[in-house]
Amino acid sequence: MINPFHKGILFGSIISALGTVFIIVTIFVLITAYTTAVDTQKYIANHLEELLDTVESTAGVACFVEDKQLASELAAGLLKNEGIASVVVKAANKELARASRPGLNETDLADNAYPITRIVKSPFSKDQVIGEIEIQQDLNAVHRQVTKKVYFTVSLLAAQLVIVATAIVLILYYIVVRPIRRLSGNLRKINPAAGEKLQLPEGHEGNEIAGLADDINKLTETLVNALSNEKELRVQREVDEKKFRSIFENASSGIFISDAEGRILSFNRSFVKLTHFPAHELSQAPKLANIAWRRRGRLDELINVCIKDQADQSFDMALNVDPPIWLNVALVAIGENRVQGVISDVTQNKLSEATAMHLAVTDKLTGLSNRLGLEHYLPDVIRKNLGAPLVMLMVDIKGFRHLNESMGLPAGDQMLKIVATKLLSCLKKTDWLGRLGGDDFVIVLQGEAGRVIAENVALRISDVLAKPVEINGSSIVSGCSIGISCYPADGVDLHGLLRSAEFALNYAKSAGKNDIQFFVPEMVAAAEQRHKLESELGHAVKNGELRLYYQPIVDLNAGRIVGAEALVRWQHPERGLVPPDDFIPIAEESDLICDLGLWVVETACQQLALWHAAGRNLYLSINVSVRQIPDALPASLLKETIARYGIPASSVALEITEGVMLSDIEKGINWIKELRNEGFRIYMDDFGTGYSSLSYLKRFPINVVKIDKSFIRDMNEETNDRVLVKAITAMSQALGLEVVAEGIENEGQIALLKEIGCRYGQGYYYSKPVPVTDFERLEQRGLEFIVPA
């Protein structure tokens, strides 16, 4: 497009140049006119003053004598000067001459009234004024002169400026306008989309025009690129949209978009399928409420929450169909009061979840509830019963560990199953039974579960479980201990009740107590006491608070002390002498028994060494706990100890109980064999109680059998016991084992034992366990106490 000339740079430049010229000329003309006028006037004034100077003396003479002719001559002479319009010469009181330029009329003179007056003084006295000369300037003449000068200056300036302006315009045209026009023409011809570049007019390489052409080329390139990118993006977007559309349509999840009122704005095929959307509702304005939810209105609520809080929602909802279908609905607010929902079928998950939940709370072995089940059940039942009383029974199978150890885990498992069945037979339908682990069964009685009912149930259980059970062809007699806690008195939650029941159970389990115990707060104190004792016992070994007491073992025939059973006693710094029943079980339950056992061995050997040095040929029997066998009391240690004290192995006897047979039999046998090889003697303690089995006597290579005091106690009267003692003695002798009778209290027993053939014995009849000094005194007194048969 060609610009109209009046909008072009050239026109603008010309106008600007001319305007500038005009303004400059005007200013210069004004300045010139002014200065010229001022200069000219000054010049004329000076000139006139000089003229007057030259005629001064003549004027003085003329005035002195008032000579008119002389004055006229003078005036005429002055008038010859251009710039003087008229001359008047005056004496003191009369006019001597008047002359004016011809051609000037009176008004001109009046208008140009710029008189110059020169006072004329007497030629003979400088003080005496005798007249004056008055000259009128001809201002027209001044103006003429000024005008002429101004004309000249203006013409000169104007000529210069016109030349400069023309030059500027020409330069502008060739340097700026023409290249721009050419550039513009080139620009119209090119096609940037085809990659054509704007050509630079010749002769402008490297200047601003070239820069402009470059910039235009870069700009067109950028624009062309942007356009092509835009086009690609549009194509990509269309492809993407189709893709997304296809994904949306074919998604296995149901997808919908709805507004806050639950009107469905958009949905896919799966949505219809999953929600069993009624087909007749699809045609006109379908709503989410048309779906057959089990809980109607719930979805609308959640949509409102989602929109209000801008928070994603995810929840499971069931359809009111059979079998039930569970759908997970995930809502996302997408603005403008709309939500996008994704629906997926979670029925399988729900079923798996339920199964898993059931499995989680069930004990696999017995099919009863487990601990987790109790954790779910009890708080629930407390809540439902609004705090009505409950009773918790904790049942522990006696000897279950021994059963497990001796007969193997499958036997134990079978036992547990049987116990579970038996327990169920004792309970009502409303009662709850679970196994918390191991042989810990828990029963919760609800309803009118008072102490009496609880006790009845406990007694029934106790009776039922006391009956022999047949496992793997063996008849097993067990029994149980039961701890009972009551809600809310003994605990307000599961933890509290379990804890109380456990206290009661532990109390029941401790030796010599009733098998059924209700929880009482004192049990806590007792347990604490026990705990305290346990920690003190640990110190006792180190602090040397333990003492060895000695109960003599007597050769019944010879009536002579042959040795002693070393029994540990605890000299408590505050409590005094603590009975072994109070602390041995505690030690047995912890590892303290091992330390304690070592101390006993050490002390006994030390004592033996002293006795042997004094020529007393005694032996000591030391009680060994099951827990010490075999690792806590290895043969090597015993060997090292006797070597240190220089005593023979035969002077040390180790008393084990039948419990050894119930634990790892092989290890026990090996331990015994090793000791036997070293020359130590092994006593079987408390024979006749527990799981005594004659076959064990054969398998265990022991030296001596100690008949339990319960048989001895009543052997005077009870023929059965006497027969038993006799049988044991006979059998032992047949197996080559010595026999020691425990708990001898009177001479009758001694006589009987001797008769039976039992050679050794111990008991209160001879002496209770006593400190070493007392024992030594007894030993020295010899048979003083022993009444000969």
Partner 1 sequence: MLRNLFIAIFILAVSASSLLAEDMVVVVNPKNGVNKLTREEVIDIFLGRNRQLSTGLTALPLDLPGVSLEREAFYLRLTGKSMSEINAYWARLIFSGRASPPTQVRSQEESMQMVIDNRSAIGYLERSKISSQVKVVFELGAK
- Shortest distance, CB of residue 65 to partner 1, whole angstroms? 5
How far apart (Å, rounded) are the C-alpha atoms in residues 23 and 25? 5
Complex with partner 1: residue 125 or 430, whichever CB lies closer? 125
Exactly one of 117, 125, 529, 535 binds partner 1 (CB under 8 A); that residue is 125
The answer to whether the CB of 112 falls within 8 A of the CB of 85 is yes
Exactly one of 17, 25, 48, 70 binds partner 1 (CB under 8 A); that residue is 70
How far apart (Å, rounded) are the C-alpha atoms in residues 80 and 97? 15
Complex with partner 1: residue 131 or 668, whichever CB lies closer? 131
**Is residue 166 near partner 1 by the rule CB under 8 A?**
no
How far apart (Å, rounded) are the C-alpha atoms in residues 372 and 736? 56
What would the x/- binding string for partner 1 be over residues 127 to 146, using CB under 8 A? -x------------------
Instruction: Report CA dihedral (67, 73, 75, 81) to the nearest 10 degrees.
Output: -160
Complex with partner 1: residue 96 or 629, whichever CB lies closer? 96
Interface segment toward partner 1; rule CB under 8 A; list 10-18, 122-130, 573-581, 653-661? 122-130
The answer to whether the CB of 707 falls within 8 A of the CB of 742 is yes
| Closest of 766, 391, 740 to residue 552, by C-alpha | 766
Interface segment toward partner 1; rule CB under 8 A; list 121-129, 490-498, 521-529, 771-779? 121-129
Complex with partner 1: residue 65 or 359, whichever CB lies closer? 65
Residue ranges in 251-290 that form contacts with partner 1 under rule CB under 8 A: none
**Is residue 68 near partner 1 by the rule CB under 8 A?**
yes
Exactly one of 8, 77, 123, 488 binds partner 1 (CB under 8 A); that residue is 123
Instruction: Report CA dihedral (565, 566, 567, 572) to the nearest 10 degrees.
Output: 160
Exactly one of 3, 26, 46, 69 binds partner 1 (CB under 8 A); that residue is 69
Strand partners, 549: 567
Per DSSP, the three-state class of 306 is: helix
Count the Cβ atoms, other than its own, within 10 Å of residue 756. Answer: 21
| Cβ partners under 8 Å of residue 681, min gap 6 | 619, 621, 650, 652, 653, 654, 703, 704
Q: Which residue has the tokens 């809310």?
A: 488
Exactly one of 6, 102, 106, 124 binds partner 1 (CB under 8 A); that residue is 124
- Shortest distance, CB of residue 116 to partner 1, whole angstroms? 24
Complex with partner 1: residue 56 or 455, whichever CB lies closer? 56
Complex with partner 1: residue 70 or 325, whichever CB lies closer? 70
**Binding-site residue total for partner 1 (CB under 8 A)?**
13
**Is residue 766 near partner 1 by the rule CB under 8 A?**
no
- Shortest distance, CB of residue 86 to partner 1, whole angstroms? 22
- Shortest distance, CB of residue 50 to partner 1, whole angstroms? 21
Instruction: Report CA dihedral (500, 503, 504, 505) to the nearest 10 degrees.
Output: 120
How far apart (Å, rounded) are the C-alpha atoms in residues 234 and 72? 113
Residue ranges in 28-67 that form contacts with partner 1 under rule CB under 8 A: 58, 61, 64-67
The one-letter amino acid code at 623 reads N
**CA angle 409–412–418, rounded 5-degree value:** 145
How far apart (Å, rounded) are the C-alpha atoms in residues 92 and 127? 14
| Cβ partners under 8 Å of residue 738, min gap 6 | 703, 704, 705, 732, 759, 760
- Shortest distance, CB of residue 117 to partner 1, whole angstroms? 23
- Shortest distance, CB of residue 76 to partner 1, whole angstroms? 14
Complex with partner 1: residue 63 or 484, whichever CB lies closer? 63
Phi/psi of residue 682, each to 5°? Answer: -115, 125
Complex with partner 1: residue 87 or 454, whichever CB lies closer? 87
**Contact set with partner 1 (CB under 8 A):** 58, 61, 64-70, 123-125, 128
